[in-house]
Structure 1
Amino acid sequence: MNQNCLQIHPKDNIAVALRDIKKFSVLHINHIELEVKNDIRAKHKFALHDLKTGDEIIMYGVLVGVANQPISQGTAITVDNIGHAAGDYKPKQSTFVWNPPNINKWKNRAFMGYHRADGKVGTSNYWVVVPLTFCENNNLDIIKEAILEPLGYLPKRDFFINTKALVDSYKAGNSIQELLEKPIILDAEEMIENRVFPNVDGIKFLKHEGGCGGTREDAETLCNLLAGYITNPNVAGATILSLGCQNAQISMIREAISKRDPSFSKPIYILEQQQSKSVESFISESVKKTFMGMIEANTIEREPAPLSNLTVGLECGGSDGFSGISANPALGYASDILAALGGSPILAEFPELHGVEQDLINRCVSNKSAERFTSLIQTYSEKALNVGSSFEKNPSPGNIKDGLVTDAMKSAGAAKKGGTSPVTDVLDYTEPVTKPGLNLLCTPGNDVESTTALVGSGANIIVFTTGLGTPTGNPIAPVIKVSSNTSLAKKMKDIIDINAGTIISGEDSIETKGEEILEYIIQVASGKRVPKAVQLNQNDFIPWKRGISL
């Protein structure tokens, strides 16, 4: 890919600039010679042929837009000269035949994970504290303050801010100027981490704004999501806080847990504040029960597990014009290897599959799965239209600025994360993964809502591609960040783990970078590498209320 531009698919009538291209430059692209009519910034597209008003815009071999005015050959494609358009889709048309990648070098590999009684294997070992309603959030904060530091769970950062030094200087009578000049940054080495429970990776607090008000369906959905976290193999046990009168009742969370794991045996403590003597008593008991549970969680140690026990959430956010030709297809190749090994990659973000539905329908292993995918995405689209929105409103200002000018163009690149393997199952929001192979999960395109959902459905690790940079993490699943371009990897090296920009520069192929991603997944799953999102203590958790979120 070591050139100025790329025609991604032979059917495409637009190409993407891999570097800034000056006006009047003459380009040769697959037997086409053209003169560029205006400056084209890297990541943006330009016409390979003259286009008339109403002509279809084809990229990745699929419909991604329609010309709303004449566009001369060599002219930049923008929101001003094309509009959104996406291809129609029909029922599953034929039997899908897959040519899987060679897995010889991977089939005997293992990762070091935490084996659970239900047969699943975690990549981490966390205790979670879960409120059933937002009314318990203040108590959650008090418990968090009381327990994290004494047990040695300081955030894994390269530096810490020593605010106490400012307080001491202020009390000593130092001037404003002296306070401004006072060093308050401490190196991580100066903060001694002394964990009481070395086999427990941390205590995570799943703070949210739901559980009461709203609808009963909202409460049921929330309980299903929380049950997904409690039964996730990365969780050793849970402390559940209930007020008592909220919609999300204790019986509801018990039922949701039992539905996922009828033989559930993890330590779990459920406390109800309205049955307690006082706030002090309630919090004291919560801390004690959590401490008791962590003693049990600490007895679990990492042991070898086959790669088929990896359930990897495939996520993208802050995408750019390179995402669909570097980071996403590289992750897709890693996904294909994992699927061939019997693992379970999960592709979500249904608004960002708009325009590529037919390919995914055809890849479904059964008509039932194909029909379910069609039903879920149609229902989602209709709900968006009913509130005056639509999938075409999905691209963010940042997406558009960096070359993704229609939703179908963004979707065609985003879907590359799912590789080429068969779709073995289609899941609605909060439903757990039960089948190996590529799973489709109905979630919004919103980064945190989608990542939250992936883990709730069983992902024990997340790979998150980005072209613009985003600090998103998750409380219990390690999140690995892959940049689509080298500029981002250098500029935001504190959040990026892997640079796929080397595909754009020609240093790597999609296959070699995909193998690098899978190797990094194994290292993280074994506890040998710590992704930047974990180091930065990024614990983003936003349940979806099933309203319209793109």
Structure 2
Amino acid sequence: MKQKVLQVHPQDNVLVALQDLSRGETVGYNGKVYTMQENIPAKHKFNTAQLEKDDAVYMYGVLVGRAQQSIPAGSRIAVENVHHAANGYALAAQRKTTWQPPDISRWQQQTFMGYHRANGSVGTANYWLVIPLVFCENRNVEVLKEAMVAELGYGQPGKYAAFTRSLVAQQQAGADKAKILETLYTEEANGKQQQRVFENVDGIKFLTHDGGCGGIRQDAQTLCGLLAGYITHANVAGATVLSLGCQNAQITMLQDEINKRDPAFSKPLYISDQQQTGTESQLITDAIRHTFAGLMEANQCVREPAPLNKLCIGLECGGSDGFSGISANPAIGYTSDLLVALGGSVILAEFPELCGVEQEMSDRCYSEEDATRFIQLMRTYQQRAEEAGSGFDMNPSPGNIKDGIITDAIKSAGAAKKGGTSPVAAVLDYPEKVQLPGLNLLCTPGNDVESTTAEVGSGANIVLFTTGLGTPTGNPIAPVIKLSSNTKLYQRMHDIIDINTGTIIDGDETIAAAGERILDYVIQVASGAITAKSVRNGQDDFIPWKRGVSL
């Protein structure tokens, strides 16, 4: 018989409903029987004992809230009766860095097929970038995109353009509104993509943004650091950069940031200053010529075997639900531990979603310096959020709350499971680059796109992205592999979801088995044997973080 409820940690005083429970229904767990005081939807929690006002609520073994009123046992824990609460944290006298690595014998001799770069990094893809240093150049970037993408065979023929044309044809033939509304869409109507001119180049990516000038000078410096992270990224063969000339984000600033990340930088890089070049026509034609020549050079790079320690995986979640922290997140946490044991790198970000587990994360830092830095970054972030009239407690979205994540501490304790159990090798501030193998903590917002953008800028050549509600986030240069926390979501949104971890909730698979399955899938994607849904759908989301308050 399928298990109806789950206690995540022995210290918890709430149970998670794995399926809908009805008022008056009794459920047994670990020798105890509980009677539901109300309907408990799947993904939500109910308290195992009577709670009085201000009593602590524990989940994942940590404080996640306090009762706002008297709550009878068997009641649904909700925003109406529980508010956010989390334990304090401080630098511990001793580090807790011992861990039990998983068995990696099956993968020790395995490789993936990647693009080897001069600095020793290995890409899982091979892209050319076109980047504006300032938002004033966005239009010129779009002109380049219009001029080159389709002609070089990278254009996704308007996925729904043929459908629109069919409606136009019907309307011109006299079809009425009812006939139009009955017309069905078919994939076949859209034809095939033109063959690539450069077979070994996966595409040209155009990264527009709204920064580079205005704001404060630190914004320009941070933006240049992020853009340098993309230009030096293992998945990038070279880049074309457009500058206006008078903006805060100067060419020299970008070059300095590139040198920080790759002192022996040798990729083809073309930088054009419009105010020096003159006419738009001259700027665009020069950029097309240099980009085309760069693509010819990039096309000479081919996939070759590489050890798995050349993988750097970003760990992300978005549109989380009440199952995320007990299925998808711990599953990729196990994958994370596997890769760390193999000598690879992983990035855990989204600092607002580490609220309540700060003590655990700081204790796991190898060095006291990193532990101190993590604590300072968390406190500064929280302080700035409060100064803006907000706070980490306001992080859960309406979708989170509707599906069982009612406090930021619950969300954070579940989100932290993505980082597995390995020690923390380094703590990085945005937009620093990963330099060490192992688990890296990167300060980013919880915002899906800002955080994914940051992880890739710091070196992630693949991103594992868990979701319980369905989030179509992708990235221009790194495959973003989507994992559903529940089977219903996987079946409903299979066009954007790559992997289902609802098998854990269904009782068909263990967390460890799912984590191993995910690593096998990552290797296939890294080798180009499988195309991630986000790549197939052209989901090229790119949003730099301006270091303001973003939860």
Q: TM-score range by the shorter chain?
A: over 0.9
Distance in 1 (alpha carbons) for counterparts of 2:164 and 2:469: 35
Contact 1:352 1:445 in 2 (8 A): yes
Post-superposition shift, 1:451? Answer: 0.2
Contact 2:7 2:16 in 1 (8 A): yes
Post-superposition shift, 1:278? Answer: 1.0
2:31 counterpart residue number: 31
SS of the counterpart of 1:162? helix
1:103 counterpart residue number: 104
Residues 188, 166 of structure 1: CA spacing in aligned structure 2 closer, same or farther, 3 A cutoff? closer
Deviations 1:137-159 (A, max 9, x none): 111111101100010002399x5
2:174 counterpart residue number: 175
2:448 counterpart residue number: 447
1:333 counterpart residue number: 334
Range moving further from structure 2, 287-296 or 94-103: 94-103
2:431 counterpart residue number: 430
Distance in 1 (alpha carbons) for counterparts of 2:7 and 2:183: 55
Distance in 2 (alpha carbons) for counterparts of 1:74 and 1:167: 54
Distance in 2 (alpha carbons) for counterparts of 1:219 and 1:276: 23
SS of the counterpart of 1:64? strand
Deviations 1:64-89 (A, max 9, x none): 00011011111110101111100111
Residues 165, 50 of structure 1: CA spacing in aligned structure 2 closer, same or farther, 3 A cutoff? closer
Contact 1:161 1:185 in 2 (8 A): no
Contact 1:165 1:184 in 2 (8 A): no
Distance in 1 (alpha carbons) for counterparts of 2:276 and 2:251: 13
SS of the counterpart of 1:377? helix
1:392 aligns with 2:417: no
Q: Which amino acid aligns with 2:327?
A: S
Range moving further from structure 2, 118-127 or 175-184: 175-184
1:412 counterpart residue number: 413
Residues 276, 114 of structure 1: CA spacing in aligned structure 2 closer, same or farther, 3 A cutoff? same
Contact 2:163 2:189 in 1 (8 A): no
Q: Which amino acid aligns with 1:49?
A: A
Contact 1:136 1:243 in 2 (8 A): yes
2:237 counterpart residue number: 236
Contact 1:127 1:236 in 2 (8 A): yes
Contact 2:68 2:83 in 1 (8 A): yes
Range moving further from structure 2, 269-278 or 312-321: 269-278
Q: Which amino acid aligns with 2:239?
A: A
Post-superposition shift, 1:168? Answer: 7.7
Contact 1:166 1:184 in 2 (8 A): no
Q: Which amino acid aligns with 1:67?
A: A
Distance in 2 (alpha carbons) for counterparts of 1:297 and 1:167: 41
Q: Which amino acid aligns with 1:261?
A: D
Post-superposition shift, 1:95? Answer: 3.5
1:11 counterpart residue number: 11
Q: Which amino acid aligns with 2:28?
A: H
1:278 counterpart residue number: 279
| Pairing of 1:338-357 with structure 2 (within 5 A) | 338-357=339-358
Deviations 1:164-193 (A, max 9, x none): 8459848x9533539937777552882143
Contact 1:161 1:186 in 2 (8 A): no
Contact 1:161 1:184 in 2 (8 A): no
Contact 1:18 1:42 in 2 (8 A): yes
Deviations 1:68-126 (A, max 9, x none): 10111111101011111001112134342111101111111110000000000000000
1:94 aligns with 2:100: no
Q: Which amino acid aligns with 1:87?
A: N
1:44 counterpart residue number: 44
Q: Which amino acid aligns with 2:34?
A: L
In percent, how many aligned pairs have the same letter? Answer: 58
Aligned residues: 548
Distance in 1 (alpha carbons) for counterparts of 2:187 and 2:489: 27
Q: Which amino acid aligns with 1:59?
A: M
Distance in 2 (alpha carbons) for counterparts of 1:156 and 1:111: 30
Residues 455, 188 of structure 1: CA spacing in aligned structure 2 closer, same or farther, 3 A cutoff? farther
Q: Which runs of 5+ in 2 are unaligned?
A: none
Distance in 2 (alpha carbons) for counterparts of 1:414 and 1:93: 26
| Pairing of 1:101-140 with structure 2 (within 5 A) | 101-140=102-141
1:320 aligns with 2:317: no
SS of the counterpart of 2:176? helix
| Pairing of 1:53-68 with structure 2 (within 5 A) | 53-68=53-68
Post-superposition shift, 1:276? Answer: 1.8
Q: Which amino acid aligns with 2:257?
A: A
Deviations 1:429-454 (A, max 9, x none): 01000000000000000000000000
Deviations 1:403-448 (A, max 9, x none): 0000000000000000000000000001000000000000000000
Contact 1:88 1:355 in 2 (8 A): yes
Deviations 1:308-358 (A, max 9, x none): 000000000000000000000000000000001110010000000000011
Distance in 1 (alpha carbons) for counterparts of 2:271 and 2:469: 42
Q: Which runs of 5+ in 1 are unaligned?
A: none
1:258 counterpart residue number: 259
Range moving further from structure 2, 186-195 or 282-291: 186-195
Q: Which 4+ stretches in 1 moved above 4 angstroms?
A: 181-186
SS of the counterpart of 1:187? helix
Contact 2:162 2:190 in 1 (8 A): no
Distance in 2 (alpha carbons) for counterparts of 1:455 and 1:223: 14
Distance in 2 (alpha carbons) for counterparts of 1:526 and 1:16: 38
1:361 counterpart residue number: 362
Distance in 2 (alpha carbons) for counterparts of 1:165 and 1:404: 44
Deviations 1:15-63 (A, max 9, x none): 1000001111111122322211111000000010111111100000000
TM-score normalized by structure 1?
0.97
Residues 289, 183 of structure 1: CA spacing in aligned structure 2 closer, same or farther, 3 A cutoff? farther
Q: Which amino acid aligns with 1:512?
A: A
Contact 2:314 2:463 in 1 (8 A): yes
1:77 aligns with 2:74: no
Contact 2:53 2:67 in 1 (8 A): yes
2:222 counterpart residue number: 221
Distance in 2 (alpha carbons) for counterparts of 1:165 and 1:390: 49
Distance in 2 (alpha carbons) for counterparts of 1:337 and 1:402: 30
SS of the counterpart of 2:20? coil
SS of the counterpart of 2:539? coil
Root mean square deviation of aligned Cα:
1.7
Residues 218, 31 of structure 1: CA spacing in aligned structure 2 closer, same or farther, 3 A cutoff? same
Deviations 1:256-306 (A, max 9, x none): 101111100000000011112311111111111111100000000000100
